[in-house]
Structure 1
Amino acid sequence: MGSCVHLPGNVNYENVADVTYNVTQFGALCQKSAFKYPSTDLPDMPPCNFKPEEYKGMSKERMMEIRRQYCNPMTMKITLYKKPVFLHQGYMQWLWDVDGRRYLDLFAGVATVSVGHCHPKVTAAAEQQLKRLWHTTNIYVYPPLHEYCEKLASYFPDPLKVIYLTNSGSEANDLAMLMARLHTGNFDIITLRGSYHGGSPQTMGLTSNAAYKYPIANGLGCTNTMCPDVFRGPWGGSHCRDSPVQTIRDCSCAQGHCMANEQYIGQLKETFATSVPSRIAAFFGEPIQGVGGAVQYPENYLKEAYKLVRERGGVCIADEVQTGFGRTGSHFWGFQGHGVFPDIVTMAKGIGNGFPMGAVVTTPEIAASFAKGVHFNTFGGNPVACAVASAVLDTIKEDSAQQISLNVGTYLLTELAKLRDKYEIIGDVRGKGLQIGVEMVKDKASRDPLSPEAMGEIFEDVKDMGVLIGKGGLYGQTFRIKPPMCITMEDADFFLAVFNKSIHNYMERR
C-alpha cells in the first residue's frame, strides 16, 4: 500500500504526490453488504488499561460560576452541550471527566491532538526540555530550534525549505498574507466561501463564514469565490472527489471529464473578471475545508486554480492547519493529494499535538522579499515547543500514525456511507483518512440542512453514549470526525454503533 510517512530531504516531489488509495486489504471490512450493528445493539466501550487520577478539584458548579463571571463570555456560547463535559484527564484517544467517566475522543480538540492525548513519547520530550531550558528567543542559537527546523524541512520538497515558527494557525496565516503581498507587490487575496483561516483582524477577511465575522472593517483586500462543493453546491456528481466515498448525486460526465470542475473554475474566472484587479497577491485554500465541514473539491480544481492565480501574479498558499501531518492518510500534506505545489504552506494544530505552535514554510525567494523589514516573534521557536513538535514528527513515523489514518479512516468512511444509504437524513459522507464529515439534511431530495435543534439532539445523544465528535459547516449541519491518529478498528466499530443508535433514536422520536 502506498504511504509517505517520512519524506527524506532529497525527496522528488512527483513521487510524493503519486501516493493513492488502495483499500483492497480491508477485504470483508469494507465489502460487508449491510451495517453490522442493528439499531438496538450497542457494544461495550473498548477497554483501556490506563487509570486516570481521581479528581479532587473544584466543583462543577464553581467552574460554571467562574466561567460565567470571569471567562471570555464567548465560552458560554460555544459550550457545545446542554449538559457540558467537565474534562479532567486524557490519554491517547481517551478522555475522562471529573466524575471518572471515560469518552472516546473523535474530535481531538478540533483536529489538534494528532498522535494522542499525553502521548508518552511527546510527554517525555516536553519534560526533558522543561528541565533544561524553558524559554529563550531566536536571537540566540540553541539546539531544539535548529534540530526541529531541519527535521520539518525534510518533509517538504525543494524549494519549500524556509521555516518561520509561530504560536497559532491564525498567526501563521496572517504572516503568509504579509509575505504574499510583499513578494508580489499586489494586495488582493482570494479564498473560498465557507473557509476558515483564523480570527485575527487580518485573517478574518480570509475566513468566509458569517459566524466568525464582526461588523467592523477587517481583512481588507480579501475576496471570496464560490466553494466547489460537489454535494451542496450547484454542480457535482458521483465521480468528482478524491475520497473513498462519493456523493449520491448523478453524474453524466464522460470518462476523464468533470463538468462540475469546469463550472466551478468558471466561477473563479468570473471572480477574476469582476471582483479583483488584474494582478493579485495570493489564493488561500485548505486542501479539505475543516470548519466548513470536511468539504472536498473536484479532483483537478486546485491544480487549475493555482494556474490561473499564477497567471495573474499571485502566489498559492496551502492552509494545512487541519489537513497536515498525515491526517488525510494517503499523503503527509493535504496539498499532495491534489498534485499541486504551493508557494507557501501554513500549519498549526497537529504540529504540536495540542502544544500552542504554528509554522509557515516557503521558498528562499519569497523569504528574501520578506526581509525588507525586521520580523521577530518572542515565542515562535520556543525550546519546549520545538522539542514537542520534533517528538510529534518522530511519533507519527514510529507509531505509523499516517497509516492508521489511511486504514481506519477509509474503514470509517466506507461504513458511514452504509448509514447514509440507510437513513434519509444523512445526506453526504466525505473526507480522506481521519478528516471526515457527515452532512445531515432534512431529506436527500432537497439537501436542506438538518435543523440546529435536531443536530443538537443527535450530538447530545452521541456524547451521552460515550463519544465526543464535532460540528461544522455553514449551517452547523455537518458532524466532524477528526480523532487522534491512534484510534483502532475496535474504536471505529464502537463509534459506528453509537452513531447508528443515535440516528435511530432521533428517527424514532420524530
Structure 2
Amino acid sequence: MPGCSFQPEEYNDMSKEKMLEIRRQYCNPMTMKVTMYKKPVFIHQGHMQWLWDVDGRRYLDLFAGVATVSVGHCHPKVTAAAEKQLRKLWHTTNIYVYPTLHEYCEKLASHLPDPLKVVYLTNSGSEANELAMLMARLYTGNFDIINLRGSYHGGSPSTMALTSNSAYKYTVPSGLGCTNTMCPDVFRGPWGGTHCRDSPIQTIRDCGCAQGDCMAHHMYIGQLKETFATSVPSRIAAFFGEPIQGVGGAVQYPKNYLKEAYELVRERGGVCIADEVQTGFGRTGSHYWGFQGHDVIPDMVTMAKGIGNGFPMGAVVTTPEIAAAFGKGVHFNTFGGNPVACAIGSSILDVIKEDRTQQISHDVGTYLLTELAKFRDKYEIIGDVRGKGLMIGVEMVKDKASRDPLPPGDMAEILEDTKDMGVLIGKGGVYGQTFRVKPPMCITMDDAEFFLAVFDKSIQNYMDRR
C-alpha cells in the first residue's frame, strides 16, 4: 500500500457491537440493506484519498462516498473555509442578502457556457432534478419527460419516475409523465462496436461501420424516434440524460447520440437537461462538465455530490428564460444557499483549479482504463471496461460470448476480497454487475498501481475458487 504521512486520531468511541445494535434497533432497516459487505467497514476518519476504520486500518477509497468526495476527504483548504464560515454565520436564508451566496453563484456560473448563467441552490441531487422537472414543465407548458433506461436521477417521489432501475422502485405510483427509452449501451445493448464511445477504451464487439459512420448511433436514435411516435404526445417537456450513466454502471453512448437526441427533443418543444451529479467538476478529465464531451449545450444542468465534496448541497443552472418561468409561483428552500455550503462550494472550485484535479482525472483515469482493459483481455469474466477520467466501470459477465451478468453472490465475493486487501470500490448496473471506480480526484499513480494489483489478485482468487 502506498505510504501516507497523515496520522489519524486514536479511536476511543462506541464499540462496533454497540453501533450494530443501534443500527438494527433504531435506524431504518434500509441502512442494513445498503451495507455492501458481509463484514461491515466501521469508518472513523478520512484524509484525502484515505479512510481509516475504528481499528486503525487504512483503506484506499476508490468510491468516494458514491462519487461524492471530489477533491479529497477533509481537504485542508475546504476544511479551513468551512471553519472560517462557521465562526461567522452558520445559517440564514436567501430571503436576506449575504455575500457568501452571491459570491458563490457568480463563481459557479463562470464555469458554465452561455446562456447557462442562472443558479438555484438546493440540498441534494434528487431535489435539483425534481426542481428541473418542475421548471421544464412550467417553461414549455408540456408535461411528458423522457429518460434513458438504467438511469438514476434520485429517490424523491418525482425523480423515482425518472430513475429507470427496478431496485430503486416501490409499489406505489411514481411514473406519471415520465417515459423511458432504450439506453444506447454499446456493450450490453443490441448494437455496438469498437469505435462507438468517446473513451480511451472501446468494446470488444466487432464493428463493420465505414469511417465516420456509426450503425449503433442510427439504431439507438431510431429507438428514440419510435418512443416519440408511440409513447408520448407530439409536444414534450424535457429529456433527461446523464452524460455517462453513474449508478447504471458508467454506461457510455455512441458518439453524437446526445447531440441528435437534443435536436429531436427541441423539435418537439422540449428542453434538454444534463444530470451532472456524478460527471461534473472535472471528473471525466477531458472536460469540466460531462456534456461538453458530447459537443452539446443543455438547457439545464443539475449537479450535486462533488459540488460539496460530501457536504449536502446541489444546484440547478439554467437560462434566464427558463428561470423566469419559475416565477409563476413561489418556491422557498430553507437550506439551499446556506452560508457554510456556499463557502465550502466556493473553496472546492478553487481547489479543483489549484490542485489540477481535472488533469489528475485525465492522467490517472486514462492509465487505469488502459491497464484494466488488459485485465479484460486476461479474464473471461470481465466483459467490458469503459469510462472517462475517474468515472470508470468494469462490467462482469459469466462469459464474454453470452454477456450474461455475473451473479450478485459472485460480485459480492470479489468486492469483499478487494475490501479485505485494503481497497474500497462500488458496484452498480441494472443487474448489479458492474464495479464502479470513482475515487477522490487527488489519487496518484502509486494509488492506481496498488488498486490494479489488488483487483487483479481478487479476480484471480475468485477464479481459483471456481
User: Shift of residue 219 of structure 1?
Assistant: 3.9
- Match for residue 424 of structure 2? 468
- Match for residue 434 of structure 1? 390
Match of 2:118 among 148, 156, 162: 162
User: Shift of residue 218 of structure 1?
Assistant: 1.3
Inter-partner Cα distance in structure 2 for 1:172 and 1:297: 24
- Match for residue 372 of structure 1? 328
- Match for residue 15 of structure 1? none
- Match for residue 237 of structure 1? 193
Q: For the Cα contact (< 8 Å) 1:327–1:435, is it kept in 2?
A: yes
CA deviation digits over 1:341-374, x for unaligned, max 9? 1000000000000000000000000011111001
Q: For the Cα contact (< 8 Å) 1:201–1:219, is it kept in 2?
A: no
After superposition, residues 390-405 of structure 1 pair within 5 angstroms as: 390-405=346-361
Q: For the Cα contact (< 8 Å) 1:409–1:432, is it kept in 2?
A: yes
After superposition, residues 177-326 of structure 1 pair within 5 angstroms as: 177-326=133-282
Q: For the Cα contact (< 8 Å) 1:293–1:472, is it kept in 2?
A: yes
Inter-partner Cα distance in structure 2 for 1:72 and 1:322: 26
CA deviation digits over 1:33-90, x for unaligned, max 9? xxxxxxxxxxxx0000000000001110000000001111101111100000000000
Inter-partner Cα distance in structure 2 for 1:74 and 1:393: 34
Give 2:99's aligned amino acid: P
Match of 2:132 among 176, 189, 192: 176
Inter-partner Cα distance in structure 2 for 1:217 and 1:103: 41
SS at match of 2:113: coil
- Match for residue 499 of structure 1? 455
User: Shift of residue 437 of structure 1?
Assistant: 0.1
Give the TM-score, by structure 2 length. Answer: 1.00
User: Shift of residue 376 of structure 1?
Assistant: 1.1
SS at match of 1:131: helix
Alignment pair present for 1:116 and 2:77: no
Match of 2:81 among 103, 120, 125: 125
User: Shift of residue 129 of structure 1?
Assistant: 0.1
Instruction: Indicate the RMSD between aligned Cα atoms, in angstroms.
Output: 0.4
- Match for residue 372 of structure 2? 416
Inter-partner Cα distance in structure 1 for 2:34 and 2:28: 11
CA deviation digits over 1:2-32, x for unaligned, max 9? xxxxxxxxxxxxxxxxxxxxxxxxxxxxxxx
Inter-partner Cα distance in structure 2 for 1:161 and 1:219: 31
Give 2:422's aligned amino acid: G
SS at match of 1:243: coil
Structure 1: runs of 5 or more not aligned = 1-44
- Match for residue 12 of structure 2? 56
Q: For the Cα contact (< 8 Å) 1:192–1:226, is it kept in 2?
A: yes
Inter-partner Cα distance in structure 2 for 1:212 and 1:452: 16
Alignment pair present for 1:488 and 2:444: yes
After superposition, residues 312-391 of structure 1 pair within 5 angstroms as: 312-391=268-347
Alignment pair present for 1:479 and 2:438: no
Inter-partner Cα distance in structure 2 for 1:464 and 1:157: 44
Give 2:386's aligned amino acid: R
- Match for residue 14 of structure 1? none
SS at match of 1:371: helix
User: Shift of residue 232 of structure 1?
Assistant: 0.1
Give the TM-score, by structure 1 length. Answer: 0.91
Alignment pair present for 1:76 and 2:32: yes
Q: For the Cα contact (< 8 Å) 1:96–1:103, is it kept in 2?
A: yes
Alignment pair present for 1:450 and 2:373: no
Give 2:164's aligned amino acid: S
Give 1:64's aligned amino acid: L
How many residues of Structure 1 are paired with residues of Structure 2 in the alignment? Answer: 466
Give 1:254's aligned amino acid: A
Inter-partner Cα distance in structure 1 for 2:154 and 2:62: 22
SS at match of 1:241: coil
Structure 2: runs of 5 or more not aligned = none
Give 2:21's aligned amino acid: E
Inter-partner Cα distance in structure 1 for 2:116 and 2:296: 13
- Match for residue 85 of structure 1? 41
Identity of aligned residues (%): 86
SS at match of 2:331: coil
Higher mean alpha-carbon deviation, 169-178 vs 66-75, is at 66-75
Give 2:187's aligned amino acid: F
Give 1:118's aligned amino acid: C
- Match for residue 21 of structure 1? none
Inter-partner Cα distance in structure 1 for 2:195 and 2:207: 7
Inter-partner Cα distance in structure 2 for 1:378 and 1:210: 32
Runs of 4+ aligned structure 1 residues displaced above 2 Å come to none
